[in-house]
């Protein structure tokens, strides 16, 4: 590791491995750069998310992985002074095009946050929230959806007898699975997960990982994680990011066993990060 | 050498913390500050409660015989010592007592100072009676006789039950007369006024010499005639009952032997203070409180009750809360959730905060000029033209008072709401938006429910402030004596244009604007006690609602 190689690092193009996936990509970024005011957070990111697979975004803190994730459903729009260049295509359409309906976009992309954020409502109302927002009044349809979503998120057995109780009474792991149920209740295409296990204990983490495994295939999943073992366990493809750039991207096995960039090798072997 | 070793080994730090670092002295300071505040508040509450609660308790009546033979009777209010300044005894202290002597119609004074050296003897005779009257305040003396038309019964032949029966009958007669005078005659009067107004309206609409006017006039003239004959009949009936009532009287004598005769219906309550047991006293006490809470004021507000003021305060405060809550919440929602945080928004926020510091009388002047004269005057010209020049909405009224107070308390609600909104975690908003909710849906379903307890707290503060306000209300609708309540049984039941009474102004009026400040004093304490109770009750109601909401949105069942 010479100082020289570090200084040249920023200009290095992304190293690309073979990727898993046969159905093509559902979301892809093209030359995507992003600024918060004057400071640039993402540099020319170019990556495609394979349909039906789990893609992990890894990298040290501040590398831009969460920023990238939040760009997919335009959650960054809430921040003043945000500016983007390049494009993100979802199902072939640029999501930053002026005619895009952001609310419609978010309905097709469920999101799970770092800290479980159940609403101050009952369990059933939490999961049914996307339908309520859509103006669905059919109680039967709502009840069915809630049940299906809770079953999909492996929470049904634990809460089926207290659906009308406050969601805030659940444990942390249950709350996070509830948030996953809420995210998939409206049957999105993509599931965005921003460090979904960082606030959970190992048992709850294992349950969520199991769940991600089950949901893969039905949904295209992107998961941001700090935990490299987790990325190795749950994802098909892995992208390593550093200082706002996509350094290396490819099949998870290749990234963890035969990384080509020095930075990636150091990170996945735990020498920094 | 020593110097060098100092450089290498700086002196060791003392292991003992100095007193100033320990914090205990500050604990005493902080605790003392809190205790000072608490003591002042409790002291104030105890003072008001004690004086308010004892004011109605019947006290013994003393009959004082002076050295010069003059006699005075009264309830002792207090005794004080004072410096003598007369030429003869130029030094020393004198003692004197203040007695509430009543009998204003005979002596032209309610209270009298009695110098201790002038007193020959003090007794508490059993036959002394205290009479609370509708007019002239209390009478203290003895009952001589009761008369009904021609027959007169001496006091010795009447026992207390008979007297109570007589007074009850007299009250019934009085109520009957009042029902005709105020109720039925008032209705007829109102109908006649309505006829007059509809004629005036027709004249304005069609012209005074048009055919439409003539036909309406003809139509209405029959009604007028009918109403006028009805009015005459009822007046006659009232006059007859009144004459009948006037013949039924009590005769009393004061301690100097002067006799007065008053109608039995003019007696509110009569009791023998020096023979009453604890039960009788309690009865009088409760009856006085009941009268205070439910009756209308008499004698320039220094006697009777404050019911119209309680009602006015309540209606005004509730209306103010209903007006300021949506207005303040909407303003805060825009400021916090929608407006881009810029210098302009900061300026608006600072201005809102400063509005809380504007003297309330300024709001009163604004309310009078803008709401009453401006908006009200325009409404009168538009909707009540036939009533001009007497204003309907174009003068102070409960609506304008509530609006003025809403404006006055808006900063409190806006600031509290903004704080409550900013306390809602961003993650809750993001969770909702990520579900595909719009900004408004997020506010409606997630942010507002979470912020509601905080918003309610702001509203409670605003209500407490509004209910206690006096200065601006004097300009926009509060009066010394309002003949009609803002809500009654006459269509359209809610009369927002009416002026009203409120407790805060009542305190000022009774304490500082009445004929006799000493007579008003107990009333001031009681009204203060009542006002604090009304504010406490309103706040308690709001707090209960808030806690329910809190429970609902934080944990537990739905």
- Res. A8: pLDDT tops 60: no
Q: pLDDT band for B449, please (50, 70, 90 cuts).
A: confident
pLDDT (0 to 100) of residue B394: 76
pLDDT (0 to 100) of residue B383: 76
Nearest CB to B435 within list A120, A133, A164: A133
Q: How many CB pairs under 8 A join A and B?
A: 86
| Cβ distance of A169 and B555 shorter than 8 Å | yes
Least confident of A47-51, A171-175, A208-212, B217-221: B217-221
Nearest CB to A120 within list B434, B435, B449: B449
- Higher pLDDT: B36 or A14? It is B36
- Angle (CA) A34-A35-A40 rounded to 5° is 95
Return the beta strands (E) in A37-68 as ranges: 39-50, 54-58
Q: How many residues does chain B have?
A: 558
pTM over 0.90: no
Q: Confirm if A39 and A67 have CB atoms less than 8 A apart.
A: no
- pLDDT average, residue stretch B528-536: 87
**Percentage of residues in chain A with pLDDT exceeding 90?**
37
- Alpha-helical (H) ranges within B341-385 are 343-355, 360-366, 377-383
Residues 6+ apart with CB under 8 A from B100: B74, B75, B76, B77, B110, B111, B138, B518, B519
Residue with token string 């404006």: B407
**CA distance, residue A161 to nearest chain B CA (Å):** 13
pLDDT (0 to 100) of residue B6: 52
Q: How many residues does chain A have?
A: 273
pLDDT (0 to 100) of residue B69: 84
Residues B487-526: tens digit of each pLDDT: 777 777 777 778 888 888 988 888 888 777 777 788 888 8
- Res. A63: pLDDT tops 70: yes
Question: CB-based contact (8 Å) between A134 and chain B?
Answer: yes
Task: Tell me the chain B residues in contact with residue A169 when contact means C-beta distances shorter than 8 Å.
Answer: 555
Q: Considering Cα of B509, then B514, then B516, then B519, what sign does the dihedral take?
A: negative
Q: pLDDT band for B554, please (50, 70, 90 cuts).
A: low
- pLDDT average, residue stretch B259-267: 87
- Res. A141: pLDDT tops 60: yes
- Res. B555: pLDDT tops 60: no
Task: Tell me the chain A residues in contact with residue B555 when contact means C-beta distances shorter than 8 Å.
Answer: 166, 168-169
Q: pLDDT band for A1, please (50, 70, 90 cuts).
A: very low
What are the distances in angstroms from CA A269 to CA A202, A233, A264, B206? 21, 15, 8, 98
Residues 6+ apart with CB under 8 A from B298: B134, B135, B304
pLDDT (0 to 100) of residue B558: 35
Q: Confirm if B380 and B394 have CB atoms less than 8 A apart.
A: yes
Q: HSE-up of A161 (CA within 13 Å, CB side)?
A: 2
Q: What does pLDDT average to over chain A?
A: 87
pLDDT (0 to 100) of residue B10: 77
- Res. A82: pLDDT tops 60: yes
DSSP 8-state code for residue B464: H
Nearest CB to B553 within list A120, A129, A165: A120
**CA distance, residue A17 to nearest chain B CA (Å):** 32
């Amino acid at each position: 590791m010479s100082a020289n190689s570090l200084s040249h690092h920023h200009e290095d193009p992304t190293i690309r491995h073979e990727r898993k996936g046969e159905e093509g990509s559902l979301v892809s970024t093209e030359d995507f750069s992003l600024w918060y005011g004057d400071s640039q957070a993402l540099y020319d990111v170019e990556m495609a998310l394979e349909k039906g697979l789990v893609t992990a975004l890894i990298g040290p803190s501040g590398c831009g992985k969460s920023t990238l994730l939040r760009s997919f459903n335009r959650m960054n729009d809430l921040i003043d002074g945000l500016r983007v260049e390049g494009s993100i295509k979802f199902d072939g359409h640029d999501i930053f095009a002026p005619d895009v309906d952001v609310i419609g976009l978010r309905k097709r992309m469920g999101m799970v946050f770092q800290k479980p954020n159940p609403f101050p409502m009952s369990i059933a109302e939490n999961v049914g929230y996307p339908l309520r927002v859509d103006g669905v009044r059919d109680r039967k349809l709502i009840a069915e959806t809630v049940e299906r979503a809770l079953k999909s998120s492996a929470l049904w057995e634990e809460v089926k007898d207290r659906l009308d109780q406050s969601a805030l009474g659940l444990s942390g792991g249950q709350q996070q699975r509830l948030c996953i149920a809420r995210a998939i209740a409206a049957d999105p295409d993509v599931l965005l997960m921003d460090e979904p296990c960082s606030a959970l204990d190992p048992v709850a983490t294992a349950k969520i990982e199991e769940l991600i495994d089950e949901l893969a295939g039905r949904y295209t999943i992107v998961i941001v994680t700090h935990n490299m073992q987790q990325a190795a366990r749950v994802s098909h493809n892995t992208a390593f990011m550093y200082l706002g750039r996509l350094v290396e991207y490819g099949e998870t096995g290749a990234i963890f066993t035969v990384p080509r960039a020095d930075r990636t090798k150091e990170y996945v072997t735990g020498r920094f990060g | 050498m020593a110097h060098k070793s100092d450089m290498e080994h700086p002196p060791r730090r003392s292991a003992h913390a100095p007193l100033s670092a320990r914090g205990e002295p500050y604990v005493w300071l902080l605790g003392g500050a809190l205790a000072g505040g608490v003591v002042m508040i409790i002291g104030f509450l105890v003072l008001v409660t004690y004086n308010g609660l004892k004011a109605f308790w019947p006290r013994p009546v003393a009959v004082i015989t002076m050295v010069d033979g003059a006699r005075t009777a009264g309830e002792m209010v207090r005794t004080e010592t004072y410096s003598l300044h007369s030429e003869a005894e130029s030094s020393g202290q004198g003692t004197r007592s203040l007695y509430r002597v009543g009998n204003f119609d005979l002596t032209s004074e309610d209270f009298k100072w009695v110098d201790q050296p002038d007193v020959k003897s003090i007794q508490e005779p059993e036959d002394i009676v205290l009479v609370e009257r509708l007019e002239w305040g209390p009478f203290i003396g003895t009952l001589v006789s009761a008369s009904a038309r021609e027959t007169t019964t001496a006091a010795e032949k009447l026992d207390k039950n008979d007297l109570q029966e007589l007074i009850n009958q007299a009250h019934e007669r009085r109520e009957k007369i009042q029902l005709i005078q105020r109720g039925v005659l008032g209705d007829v009067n109102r109908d006649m006024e309505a006829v007059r107004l509809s004629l005036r309206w027709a004249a304005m609409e069609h012209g005074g010499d048009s055919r439409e006017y003539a036909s309406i006039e003809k139509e209405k003239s029959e009604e007028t005639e009918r109403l006028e004959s009805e009015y005459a009949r009822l007046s006659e009936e009232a006059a007859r009952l009144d004459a009948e009532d006037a013949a039924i009287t009590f005769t009393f004598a004061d301690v100097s032997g002067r006799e007065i005769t008053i109608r039995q219906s003019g007696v509110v309550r009569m009791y023998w203070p020096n023979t009453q047991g604890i039960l009788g006293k309690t009865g009088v006490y409760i009856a006085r409180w009941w009268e205070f809470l439910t009756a209308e004021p008499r004698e320039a507000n220094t006697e009777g009750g404050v019911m119209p003021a309680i009602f006015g305060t309540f209606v005004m405060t509730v209306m103010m809360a209903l007006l300021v809550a949506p207005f303040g919440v909407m303003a805060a929602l825009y400021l916090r959730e929608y407006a881009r945080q810029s210098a302009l928004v900061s300026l608006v926020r600072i201005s809102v905060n400063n509005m809380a510091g504007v003297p309330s009388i300024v709001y009163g002047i604004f309310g009078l000029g803008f709401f009453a004269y401006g908006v009200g005057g325009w409404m009168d010209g538009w909707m009540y033209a036939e009533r001009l020049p007497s204003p309907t909405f174009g003068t102070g009224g409960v609506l304008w008072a509530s609006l003025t107070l809403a404006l006055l308390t808006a900063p409190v609600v806006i600031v509290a709401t903004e704080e409550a909104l900013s306390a809602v975690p961003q993650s809750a908003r993001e969770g909702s938006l990520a579900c595909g909710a719009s900004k408004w849906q997020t506010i409606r379903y997630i942010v507002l429910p979470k912020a509601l307890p905080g918003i309610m707290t702001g509203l409670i503060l605003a209500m407490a402030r509004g209910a206690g306000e006096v200065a601006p209300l004097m300009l926009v609708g509060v009066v010394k004596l309002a003949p009609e309540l803002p809500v009654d049984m006459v269509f359209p039941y809610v009369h927002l244009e009416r002026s009203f009474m409120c407790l805060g102004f009542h305190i000022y009026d009774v304490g500082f604007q009445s004929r006799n400040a000493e007579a008003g004093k107990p009333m001031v304490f009681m009204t203060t006690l009542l006002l604090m109770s009304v504010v406490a009750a309103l706040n308690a109601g709001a707090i209960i609602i808030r806690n329910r909401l809190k429970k609902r949105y934080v944990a537990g069942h739905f």
